[in-house]
A = this chain, B = another copy of it.
């Protein structure tokens, strides 16, 4: 799939005509980079003027506390973007962006465009409007995640997350983008306790799973 098609599936470029995109990319000083698996694209305490869009592969957004305990904030796939908040606030990052597999990223120098673009590009307004929409959807994603982790028990967190994933895919069978340790760090629980709870839920007939592929079983 070529870049223009991928970008038109992103929030940032939605409702922008395909023929306008090459000029926009020039204006945004677009640059493409490829990274191996487990590569830290942006680290904590870094600054950036560039928003990243995933062209292929996937990344995790993570953070570590003082003692090195990891929290997985989110997983991003093709057409998803990151670092939009850093670009807009010009603050130091509190998260890392790490590849989960070989990944290609398109970097866009959004900062100068949303603060002042004296070129008067005809699609500038559409871009900044999309930026507003992008940040709003990021807010909603954070609220959804918070909805999972505010649950009080490990089982409730799992049910909340897995049922939301099923709903998102429109299917009771689906893959999640995390291994066990990543899922535990995403839901803020202890890995082996979570595995034990998943095993109990399976023996109670609530769900089946094989590694990261899950099937929720409908109650009769």
Contact = CB atoms under 8 A, between A and B. Distances in A.
Which among A129, A136, A146 has the greatest number of chain B C-beta atoms within 10 A? A136
Interface stretch (A27-35, A81-89, A172-180): A81-89
A18 interface: no
A211 interface: no
Give the size range of A's interface with the partner.
Answer: 35 or more
A148 to B, nearest CB: 11
Interface string A167-197: 0000000000000000000001110000000
A-side binding surface: helix, strand, loop or mixed?
A: helix
A52 B109 CA distance: 32
A182 B84 CA distance: 32
A164 interface: no
24 contacts: A71-B146, A84-B136, A85-B136, A85-B139, A89-B137, A89-B140, A95-B143, A114-B132, A115-B129, A128-B129, A128-B132, A131-B132, A135-B139, A138-B139, A139-B142, A142-B143, A145-B146, A146-B149, A149-B149, A149-B150, A149-B188, A151-B188, A152-B188, A152-B189
